[in-house]
Structure 1
Amino acid sequence: MSTPPVPLPVINRDDSGVAVLNRWVTPTADQQRSVADASLAAWANAPWPQGLLAVSCFISTNGDTVFTYEQWSGERELRAFENASASAPGREGIDREIAAAAGKAERSEPFVCRLHRSSITNAEATPGCVVVTTFGFEEADTARAWSDAICNAEAAQPEPTPGGISRHFLLSPDGTQVLNYSEWLDEESHRKFLENPVQTPEWQQVEEFTGLTHGPGRRCRPYGALAAPLPGTTASETP
């Protein structure tokens, strides 16, 4: 019997006001799976926080990174969870459970962000690869303009990028950090896009942006997901 696909998060869902990206870098692929399993178990076993809509877990295809992507209804709900006392279910308890399984995995600072803009070019396709990349800018206006320029460049292409499905740009509270979450048919499609960039005036304008820092980017596949439970039930989980 085949395993059902893990559902991907709907990045541009209307009821999500804020998101949190967590990243762990692991020394081995076995450790990667241990951290991913511990992350899902920690959320599944804790009382579901008010305002948390979904938690999605991704593992990088090169075997060294785990991401979790939390979607919250708003900042007030997220802050209530973050500020819970040590004795109450909250971020500290979740982190403690994951840390127990993380071993030598290195965790980056959580990336809190809000959706700025999306570009969807093939809504009917099923993604086989997700690419998660972060960027830093000196000015918030530049970060927004860069994100807009990419969306505009894609819209102006004579033909859609082969294998490209969607791009979503999320900004940090101060607007200077960008999370680029993109969906592709497969790894090869994304690799070919990087190796053979589209040559149009709009894409050339994107290349002219300066003052940006390219953070670590990884090709990923979905590992598991948890969704807000219906009343009277526990959180629903996918394998």
Structure 2
Amino acid sequence: MTRRSDAHPDLADPRVGAPFFSTWRVGTPLRQRQAVEAVAVAWERRPWPADDLLGYHLYTGHDTSTLLHYSQWTSEQAYEAFVRTRRQERVDEIDTAVPGIERLGLGRYRHYRSGGPADRGGRVPGCVVIVDVEFEGPDPDRQRAWVDAVFEALENEPAPHPGGIAAHFHLSTDGTRVLNYAEWASAQAHLEALAAPGDGIGSATALWERVQTWPGLKSSTVSRYDHALGLVPG
């Protein structure tokens, strides 16, 4: 069976061999809520589709228009089997309930590194921040080197913001992108970190400048979300 959960996912779960991220544009806060409920109903009325799916989570964008989807699969092969046999019936039901959803694409990733305070103090994220970084062309070595440089800058940050809980870096399988799923205490804490001296959440240090001017870095976007729905096997 399928059940709802308010718990946030464990991004560093070693069983997750194929994490997927995708975004829908639905247009309004009302349609965000309607789409989340439509997904919940379409999934709850059916058996959990596969043992290889560990969890499926939805997030409402602070832009009041988008939904972020994050699913935790053990392998891409398991996901492809789901697409062939179980996905379309769910899509059809959701699209009937909320017509006009614009699906903006599916990102295939691998988890690379996670970090944060050694003691999270049991804090539950009040805001999820997605940092999507694109590079000029595929280069897996560059992906890893850039993330390693971010960790070096974080470890030497002279004034870390107390609102940061954890950061989970994922590398796209095509070698062109890095996605950081960052957990923050609140959206306000993230905004305060951005407003502090420096470019982004880091201080004005040479290590952060190296991160921001990395050769081949094409673009980066920052989006804030609230965890709206977790679906897990019952």
Shorter-chain TM-score bucket reads: 0.7 to 0.9
* Percent of aligned pairs with the same amino acid: 32
SS state at 1:9 partner:
coil
CA-CA distance at 1:183 after TM superposition:
0.5
| Structure 1 residues 171-210: aligned runs within 5 Å | 171-196=171-196, 197=198, 198-210=203-215
Match of 1:127 in 2: 125
Match of 2:104 in 1: 108
- Equivalent residue for 1:136, pick from 134, 139, 146: 134
Gaps of 5+ in 2: none
Q: Distance in 2 between matches of 1:43 and 1:217?
A: 29
Q: Distance in 1 between matches of 2:125 and 2:42?
A: 27
Match of 2:88 in 1: 92
CA-CA distance at 1:17 after TM superposition:
0.9
Q: Distance in 2 between matches of 1:130 and 1:219?
A: 6
Match of 1:73 in 2: 74
Kindly provide the amino acid, as one letter, of the partner of residue 10 in structure 1.
D
Gaps of 5+ in 1: 85-89, 230-239
CA-CA distance at 1:30 after TM superposition:
0.5
Are the aligned partners of 1:54 and 1:71 in contact in 2 as well (CA < 8 Å)? Answer: yes
CA-CA distance at 1:224 after TM superposition:
1.3
SS state at 1:41 partner:
helix
Q: Distance in 2 between matches of 1:217 and 1:191?
A: 11
Kindly provide the amino acid, as one letter, of the partner of residue 120 in structure 2.
A
| Alpha-carbon distance change, 136 to 35 in structure 1, aligned in 2, over 3 angstroms | same
CA-CA distance at 1:58 after TM superposition:
0.7
Q: Distance in 2 between matches of 1:37 and 1:22?
A: 17
Match of 1:217 in 2: 222
Q: TM-score, normalised by structure 1?
A: 0.84
| Alpha-carbon distance change, 217 to 34 in structure 1, aligned in 2, over 3 angstroms | farther
Match of 1:232 in 2: none
| Alpha-carbon distance change, 43 to 178 in structure 1, aligned in 2, over 3 angstroms | farther
Q: TM-score, normalised by structure 2?
A: 0.86
Match of 1:58 in 2: 59
Q: How many equivalent pairs are there?
A: 220
